[in-house]
Amino acid sequence: MPSLVEDDDLIRASQHGDVASLEILLNRHHDRIRAVCAKIVGRGADADDAAQMALIAIVKNLDAFDGRARFTTWSYRIATNAAIDELRRRNRRTATSIDDDDQHLQIATSGDLENSITAKLDIDDALHQLPEEFRIPVILRDLCGLDYDQIAEALELAPGTVRSRIARGRGKLADIIGPVTDGGNQSDTRGVQGHDDE
C-alpha cells in the first residue's frame, strides 16, 4: 500500500499555492472536522455549516500555520470555534423566533419516520445536555484523541482546568446515561482505547 503524503508536506505545498495538495489535505481532514462540529452542534445542516466554515477558516489561515502545533490540533481548534459560532447563531435564531421552532417541528413530523427518529435522537443526545464548557474538552479528548496539553492549547486553558473539566464532563455524562447494565466487573486496563470501544 503506498504511503500517504505527510500532512506537513501537503501543508507546505498548500502554503506555496499548490491547490491540489490543499484539496488532499482538506479531503483527509474533512470528516474529522465535521465529526467535531457534529458532536458540538448536533448532526444535520448546522454541523455541515460549521464544518464548511471551519474548512474555509483553515484555508484562509493556513499561511499563518507555523507547524508548532500539530495540524490536527490546530484544525480542531478552528473546528471548535466554528462550531461554537454556529451554536451562537442557532441560539440567536431560537431566541428571535419561536415560530421558527414550530416550523422545524412541522417539517420533522411531516417527514418520513426515519428522519423524525433521527431528529429525536439528536434532541435527546445526552452529550448535548452537557454545558459547553465540559462538552468541548470531552469531545476533543474522547472523540479527537487529543491529550490534555493539546486540548489546553486548543482551548487556551490551563492543563489542570482541562483535566478537571474532562473528568466532570464525563461524570455528568455518565450520570445522564445511567448505570451500566453489564455488571461493571471489568478490571481496569491502562488506557481507555476510547476509539476502539465501538
170 binds another protein (CB under 8 A): yes
143 binds another protein (CB under 8 A): yes
61 binds another protein (CB under 8 A): no
Size of the site for another protein (CB under 8 A): 82
Among 12, 70, 128, 163, binds another protein (CB under 8 A): 163
131 binds another protein (CB under 8 A): no
Which CB atom, from 123 or from 177, has the smaller least distance to another protein?
177
Q: Would you say 58 and 72 are in contact if contact means Cβ atoms under 8 Å apart?
A: no
Cell numbers that stand for 90 in this block: 442557532
Q: Which of 83, 71, 69, 41 is nearest to 152 (CA)?
A: 69
End-to-end CA distance of the chain: 26
Q: How many CB atoms lie within 10 A of CB 155?
A: 20
- Least Cβ distance, residue 184 to another protein (angstroms): 4
Residues 6+ positions from 29 with CB-CB distance below 8 Å: 58, 71, 72, 75
- Least Cβ distance, residue 180 to another protein (angstroms): 5
Q: Choose the binding region for another protein from 5-13, 64-72, 73-81, 184-192 (rule: CB under 8 A).
A: 184-192
Per CB under 8 A, contacts with another protein among 66-125 are 89, 92-93, 96-97, 99-100, 102-104, 106-108, 110-112, 115
Q: Would you say 127 and 37 are in contact if contact means Cβ atoms under 8 Å apart?
A: no
7 binds another protein (CB under 8 A): no
188 binds another protein (CB under 8 A): yes
Per CB under 8 A, contacts with another protein among 29-58 are 30-31, 34-35, 38-39, 43-49, 51-53, 55-56, 58
Count helices and strands (H / E) in the chain. 9, 0
190 binds another protein (CB under 8 A): yes
Pure H helices in 62-182: 71-96, 98-110, 113-124, 132-142, 148-155, 159-177
Q: Would you say 36 and 80 are in contact if contact means Cβ atoms under 8 Å apart?
A: yes
Q: Choose the binding region for another protein from 2-10, 16-24, 68-76 (rule: CB under 8 A).
A: 16-24
